[in-house]
Amino acid sequence: MSENGGDVSAIEADVARLLGVPVQLAGTVASGRNSRVYRAETARGNLVAVKQFHRSHTATRDYLQVEHAALQFLWDQGERRVPEPIAIDLPAGLLISEFVEGQRVPSAAVSDADIDEAVDFLVSLKALTRMPGSMSLPKASEACFTAQAVVENIGHRRQRLEQEGDLRVLSGALGAFLVDEFDPTLQDTVDSSRHCLARAGAVPVDEKLPVDLRTLSPSDFGFHNSLRRVDGSLVFIDFEHFGWDDPAKMIADVILHPAMALPVALADRFVAGMLQCFSDDENIAARLQALEPLFGLKWCTILLNEFIAGDMARRRFSERGESDRDILLQAQICKAQNMLHHVQAAVRRLATP
């Protein structure tokens, strides 16, 4: 199978070899930045999910192995709100798991009960940090255990966009956004966040969060990565970014994630529930308030990844190249601007005594 994936017949052959029974793919049911998921039926009439990962020799994280390890750990601990892992094939870039019969959960359909279920799931991950095998799990994707690490991460992403991003398309829209809008907000945000942490007496910007205050996090968590079963219960999917992280980052990513856009009342309910459950961390509320604008800036840079050729290739892999490039890039610029406006409003709130 090539780096960008093989044809359907090749995938069917790989899955049949793993399961020991002929299979037939029945179409793509989902796609993400690093993968696409097929619904497959075996000759015995069983349904499975086949997740094919984009394989790159330059990748710094093996999303396939991370997701398999996460699902296996959670199932071993009795957690059933995730799909059951069945088989893995590293050379072929495939993960086979239980096929969950359910519907996607749009933001407009999220209820108070769904928020409470999400909180309960994340709190259950916190409890699993004390279980055997948890310490062998990796850090979450781009986990940050100091405020300074968040700032450095943003700086690295900003630099990568300038060095590897296509600055010519859309009449130079990327460069104009970075210089005229992003950079001034970055400096204001860093200064405000540091001042907020110091004012609250929270963990200094360069002091690592103690291990006992860290948690296990899906990292890319939210209702965009969930399915609602017929009985109304939720199943959470996509654990390729799973690992150890700061719970403040986990909370911020949920309320900031552009794929969800939760109404304010539901976002507030989520934050309140999480802060209550993580109240043993006396600085978590102050840390969340100070770091949320920084994580918002990070999201700005993530939204602009499609301007980088390698990241666009992953997007093409998951969508089979069906989107118009200029339209997609214009949409990403608009999303980044909207996120930047959210950050600027948060910074103004930090400046209010």
- Three-class SS string for the chain? CCCCCCCHHHHHHHHHHHHCCCEEEEEEEEECCCEEEEEEEECCCCEEEEEEECCCCCCCCCHHHHHHHHHHHHHHCCCCCCCCEEEEECCCCEEEEECCCCEECCHHHCCHHHHHHHHHHHHHHHHHCCCCCHHHCCECCCCCCCHHHHHHHHHHHHHHHHHHECCCHHHHHHHHHHHHHHHHHHHHHHHHHHHHHHHHCCCCCCCCCCHHHCEEECCCCCHHHEEECCCCCEEECCCCCCEEECHHHHHHHHHHCCCCCCCHHHHHHHHHHHHHHCCCCCCHHHHHHHHHHHHHHHHHHHHCHHHEHHHHHHHHHHHCCCCCHHHHHHHHHHHHHHHHHHHHHHHHHHCCC
**One domain for residues 167 and 285:** yes
Read off the pLDDT of residues 304-334 as tens digits, 9 standing for 90 and up.
999 998 776 665 555 555 558 899 999 999 9
* Domain count across the chain: 2
Q: Are residues 173 and 271 in the same domain?
A: yes
Q: Per the domain annotation, does 291 fall within a domain?
A: yes
In a domain, 236, yes or no: yes
Q: Are 218 and 128 in contact (CB under 8 A)?
A: no
pLDDT higher than 50, residue 1? no
Is the distance from CB of 205 to CB of 149 less than 8 angstroms? no
Among 48, 79, 99, residue at a domain's last position: 99
Residues in the chain: 353
Whether residue 50 contacts residue 40, with contact meaning beta carbons closer than 8 Å, is answered with yes
Residue 1 lies in a domain: no
- Claim to verify: residue 44 and residue 139 sit in the same structural domain: no
pLDDT band at 231, cuts 50/70/90? very high
- Check pLDDT > 80 for residue 116: yes
Inside any domain, residue 157: yes
Residue in 199, 209, 200, 201 with CA at minimum distance from that of residue 148: 209
How far is the C-alpha of 251 from the C-alpha of 274, rounded, in Å? 7
The pLDDT-based confidence of 2 (bands split at 50, 70, 90) is very low
Instruction: Work out the average pLDDT over 109-124.
Output: 97
CATH number of the domain that residue 63 is part of: 3.30.200.20
- Do 266 and 126 fall into the same domain? yes
Domain boundary pick from 99, 126, 153: 99
What is the predicted pLDDT for the residue at 219?
93
Placement of tokens 């110091």 in the chain: 198
Q: What local confidence, expressed as pLDDT, does residue 34 receive?
A: 77
Same domain, 17 and 141: no
Q: Are residues 332 and 187 in the same domain?
A: yes
Q: Are residues 77 and 121 in the same domain?
A: no
Within a domain: 339: yes
The answer to whether the beta carbons of residues 250 and 219 sit under 8 Å apart is: yes
Residue 88 has pLDDT above 80, yes or no: yes
**Both 150 and 253 in a single domain?**
yes
pTM of the model: 0.90
Contact 171, 195 (CB under 8 A): no
Are 96 and 50 in contact by the 8 Å Cβ rule? The answer is: yes
Residues 66 and 127 in one domain: no
Max Cα–Cα distance, the chain, nearest Å: 66
Residue 335 in any domain: the answer is: yes
Question: What does the pLDDT average to over 257-266?
Answer: 91
Q: Are residues 61 and 116 in the same domain?
A: no
Position 2 in a domain:
no
Pair (235, 109) in one structural domain = yes
Q: Tokens in use for 43?
A: 């000759």
Of 99, 119, 149, the position where a domain reaches its end is 99
180 pLDDT above the threshold of 70 = yes
Instruction: Clarify whether residues 176 and 76 are in a common domain.
Output: no
Whether the per-residue pLDDT at 221 is higher than 90: the answer is yes
At 207, is the pLDDT very low, low, confident or very high (cuts 50, 70, 90)? confident
pLDDT value of residue 301: 97
Identify which of 251, 255, 279, 275 has the alpha carbon closest to the alpha carbon of residue 265: 255
Supply the range of the domain harboring residue 86: 8-99
261: CATH: 3.90.1200.10
